[in-house]
Structure 1
Amino acid sequence: MNPALARTEPLKQPDPVLLRDMIATCYGIYLDDTCTRTLEAAIQQRSSTLGMSAERYAKQLTKQPDEQEFQLLTEELLNHETQFFRNRPHMQALRDVILPELHQRLPPGQPLRLWSAGCATGEEAYSLAITVLEAFGEPLPRPVSIWATDLSSAALTRAKAGVYKGRSLAHLTPQQRVRYFEAHGAELTVASRVRRLVQFEQFNLLDPIPAQGQGIDILFCQNVTIYFQINTCRSLMERFYDALNDGGVLFLGFSETLWNIFNKLRWREVGDSFVYYKDSERTSEQRYRRTVSFATDPGPTSRGLPAPAPASQPDLSRAARHHSRSGEPHIDHRATSAIIEQIEGLLDTGQTEEALTRLQSLPLVGIDAPQILALMARAHANRGDFELAGAEAHRALALNPLTTEAYLLIGLIYARQNRHSAALVQFERARYLDNQSPVLAFHLAECYRQLGRRDDALREYRNCMHQLTLHPPDKLLDGVAARWLRETCQHSMEGLRPERTYNL
């Protein structure tokens, strides 16, 4: 999704809401209330292209839906910016563990089938092809096909061209650039032997999966379902489950979870990533033995797992898990809570990238999943990716409506959009769950001040200052020093006090 929160003239209700719901019904993409400006910007863009007012465009499209125009409007909402090997831990797990396992298990000569669902401009699909060639060598020991689909025809046109430059190439190694691409100035063109493995096709994930998408061994669907509502996601997973072969593997994005959403697929830890898989009783015992072997083998990282952490720096994320008889890791809530506390400290001190790396080492299952999602949302908001942050925060609340940090983050997104009444609702919900947070008291005070509620603002500034007495002046709270918060409260309170008048 496009993270830019464009400034546009708000459209009269209910047209944007109707269009939002129509988009969700037709394509699954649900724009929550934090994304109103994004939808309005897309409407402004399409109406300007057609030479009509935004209000007329929205009214006409809701009353007389045009399939082609509706598709173009939806494409305006999609962010097609991606990169080769964007999620390297997943590609490493695929290359070092998953592909060798599948090759060993499948009968000789049986094709290996992969699906990149939501392939955007093709970087993920070509990354899969390169990973297959790296894992198996050339010539390939068995037939391999990659079906790459996306909703956007414009993105697919770029994908089929296979020409890339700039940021999308940032994660390629020098060896990959030379071996799998042809250089033309600043641009790289995907080599023909890589392109031959991939077939691009336009496809709406809400439609029935055709024959081309059945019997899949490896399915990548990343950063797609986080924008779906729970029921839409559950329905898609049911169709994915039917499309996967027994033993087939599903790779979701780091902030996407099936916990409390869909329980037919099991999950497994592979190296630094987590995958879902379709398992039968026949393969369950084999899976258990193999997983325990991977988890206890102290051998080299070429087997797809990182070397054990030094004794002085224990890997708590692994200590939080042990493998059950089913082969699925069991989560130690106390150990996970310790990791979460460390991550909160990293976010407080501005170490966003390190925090994200550690968050991605945690599985999104169990009672800690909503809290982990809320922290991911906070990290992505720190990076300026507000729409992903909003989607993650809303998913955290869908899994657990008592996730305080999610309410706080959604409120901050509203406040950034100068939608202070909407922000206040979220802050007050967070306050109901946590009345000891000076940061929350500060944001409540700021919101009341913007809404002209002077007495309420003064009360919350005082609450913030009282709660700050429990923290050292230099302690960082949500990235700012306690001293700064106190000084800001004092300054704001001075501005809110009525001026004294004197009788002469």
Structure 2
Amino acid sequence: MSAAHDLFLPPPVRLSQEAFDRLRNLLADYSGVYLDTAQQRVLESGLAQRLAALEETLEAYERRITAPAGRDELQRLTELVVNHETCFFRNAPHMKALRDTLLFEMHRRKPAGEPIRIWSAGCATGEEAYSLAITALETFGSTMIRPVEIWATDLSDLALEKARAGFYRGRSLNNVAPSLLSRYFVKRGDGFLVADAVRALVHFEQLNLLEPFPPTAYRVDAIFCQNVTIYFQPETRRSLIERFYRCLPSHGLLFLGFSETLWNVFDGFRSREVSGAYVYQKVERPPSPLQRRTESRQPATTAEAPQRLTPVTATPRTASHGRRSPIAPITPKPTSSNADADHLDRAQALLDAGRLDDAMEVLRTIPPNSSLAPRALTLVARVHANRGELDLAIAEVRRALEIDALRDDAYLLLGTMYVRQGQWHDAIQSLERARYLNPDAALVSYHLAMAYRQAGKKELAAREFRSALRKLAAYRAEDLLEGVEVGWLRATCEQHLASLET
């Protein structure tokens, strides 16, 4: 990068821990997205751009966004911080389940001429919404024997602007088969434009999922909300899922990302396997005596008008002490099978061999209510980490720890991701937890020693390098520990230990 280019960059912003906590809580209150400490640099970069544009100090900017009139500026900051990256047919098994089974089921249940309505909640730049429209066209044909309406919403005006333009190139099209590309897209320069037949099924609208839902939300048959709630705190996630439940009719469907399992979150849906994919179907529940008494005193309404969702920005450990809803989550009894264990072992082997896409396909076969879900989530997080998608990786591993707080492999992965971000305090904290849970793990000692060294804790680093070498003695040099050769680990430990002892 040239010095001339550097002149156009805004001056860097460095946040104290207290300032970071204040600002991420503000963002979570507004959008639901709760930034991990590894995303502090992302927030600092966004702040630098806004401070330069407004020519304000950080103190003045905080006063601006906390004032009643500051929501527009909070929106602009959120635009710079929230990840909008996605692609067409991101969750191919869900689209296959729709095409093979679920759209026909909805078609048979609905009166003649009434459209099937699908809500893409958190649609980002539109790829998911257009994927749903293409799937509907593939299912019902160009004459559309059943009308289909896709309502696509997102918090980001910038993302929606790109979605409405419908022009895509590069990675976002990787999963589009050549036959679909020729039928539903028009070549334009170095990219492709979504065809009019697809656009006709989709309506885009700006919506903050923490705000009251409009009447449109209560007329949908299915909701897609994938890789959105993984960035929410547990109580905020649970409250949103409950509101989705109220939007759906009997047998209504909820499609979530893999890590967004409802285990330990909400029990108003049952998990259902369809064509190799797992979807959630609404289960009608009788009202409690308290609900019946409350409802009998209230006038009848044609549609529910929920209050704004109140996010909880406490840590996951304390989030469960927040406001309780009328429908309390009951933890379903987890299940597992020998096949689940075999699939996880196969996914682990594929991951160690660097076959990330194949590993992810195997991991999708693990049922969301499996007792092995935390291990599966940790492996999914490793896939994302190896792809460089650290925000997704951290969100996935956090979900694994919400379900099972005693997973040393999850703490190990979290610690190594903090190391990659230069978050030494958080790295050491996570890795020390992993060591406590699994004191014999050589890889934990290696990464903890590296974190101590980077943090300037030389004595602790030397002690941990020696511990790693003792544990590595049980392995052959050619053995692999999570894809890393033991011989290389030994040589690296010895080299760093020698430099610390001189």
Aligned equivalent of 1:412: 416
Task: Decide whether the 8 Å contact of 1:48 with 1:54 is kept in 2.
Answer: no
2:356 & 2:189 partners in 1: Cα distance? 35
The worse-fitting range, judged by mean Cα deviation, of 178-187 and 96-105 is 178-187
Aligned equivalent of 2:319: none
Secondary structure of the structure 2 residue equivalent to 1:247 = coil
Aligned equivalent of 2:156: 152
**Is 1:449 the equivalent of 2:453?**
yes
**Is 1:174 the equivalent of 2:172?**
no
1:262 & 1:440 partners in 2: Cα distance? 34
Task: Decide whether the 8 Å contact of 1:381 with 1:389 is kept in 2.
Answer: yes
For residues 84-103 of structure 1, the aligned pairs below 5 Å read 84-103=88-107
Task: Decide whether the 8 Å contact of 2:225 with 2:257 is kept in 1.
Answer: yes
The worse-fitting range, judged by mean Cα deviation, of 112-121 and 358-367 is 358-367
Aligned equivalent of 1:373: 377
Aligned equivalent of 2:25: 21
Q: 2:43 aligns with which of 39, 62, 70?
A: 39
Task: Decide whether the 8 Å contact of 2:424 with 2:455 is kept in 1.
Answer: yes
TM-score w.r.t. length of structure 2: 0.84
Aligned equivalent of 2:439: 435
1:170 & 1:416 partners in 2: Cα distance? 28
> Number of matched residues?
448
Aligned equivalent of 2:303: none
Note the alpha carbon deviations across 1:135-172, whole angstroms, 9 max, x for none.
01121122221111000111112212222222222222
Task: Decide whether the 8 Å contact of 1:18 with 1:62 is kept in 2.
Answer: no
Note the alpha carbon deviations across 1:25-84, whole angstroms, 9 max, x for none.
121111122221111111112212223344543454346760100001011112222222
1:263 & 1:8 partners in 2: Cα distance? 46
Aligned equivalent of 2:249: 245
Note the alpha carbon deviations across 1:104-135, whole angstroms, 9 max, x for none.
22232222111110111111111111111110
1:349 & 1:454 partners in 2: Cα distance? 34
Task: Decide whether the 8 Å contact of 2:336 with 2:372 is kept in 1.
Answer: no
Secondary structure of the structure 2 residue equivalent to 1:21 = helix
Counterpart of 1:46 in structure 2: which amino acid?
R
For residues 117-156 of structure 1, the aligned pairs below 5 Å read 117-156=121-160
For residues 315-394 of structure 1, the aligned pairs below 5 Å read 331-394=335-398
Q: CA deviation at 1:280?
A: 4.7
Aligned equivalent of 1:200: 204
Provide the aligned C-alpha RMSD in A.
Answer: 2.3
2:355 & 2:119 partners in 1: Cα distance? 35
**Is 1:494 the equivalent of 2:498?**
yes
Aligned equivalent of 2:235: 231
Task: Decide whether the 8 Å contact of 2:408 with 2:434 is kept in 1.
Answer: yes
Counterpart of 2:353 in structure 1: which amino acid?
T
Task: Decide whether the 8 Å contact of 2:33 with 2:82 is kept in 1.
Answer: no
Q: CA deviation at 1:100?
A: 1.3
2:59 & 2:476 partners in 1: Cα distance? 53
**After TM superposition, what 4+ stretches of structure 1 lie above 6 angstroms from structure 2?**
none
**Is 1:482 the equivalent of 2:482?**
no
Counterpart of 2:81 in structure 1: which amino acid?
L
1:461 & 1:66 partners in 2: Cα distance? 50
Task: Decide whether the 8 Å contact of 1:16 with 1:58 is kept in 2.
Answer: no
Structure 1 residues 235 and 487: alpha-carbon distance in aligned structure 2, compared to 1, 3 A threshold: same
Structure 1 residues 455 and 398: alpha-carbon distance in aligned structure 2, compared to 1, 3 A threshold: same
Task: Decide whether the 8 Å contact of 2:360 with 2:383 is kept in 1.
Answer: yes
**Is 1:258 the equivalent of 2:258?**
no
1:7 & 1:101 partners in 2: Cα distance? 56
Aligned equivalent of 1:69: 73
2:270 & 2:11 partners in 1: Cα distance? 43
For residues 183-222 of structure 1, the aligned pairs below 5 Å read 183-222=187-226
Identical pairs, percent = 47
Q: Which blocks of at least 5 consecutive residues in structure 1 are unaligned?
A: 1-5, 282-327, 499-504
Note the alpha carbon deviations across 1:473-504, whole angstroms, 9 max, x for none.
11111221011111111111111224xxxxxx
Task: Decide whether the 8 Å contact of 2:38 with 2:423 is kept in 1.
Answer: no
Aligned equivalent of 2:299: none
For residues 466-477 of structure 1, the aligned pairs below 5 Å read 466-477=470-481
Task: Decide whether the 8 Å contact of 1:346 with 1:354 is kept in 2.
Answer: yes
Q: CA deviation at 1:9?
A: 4.0
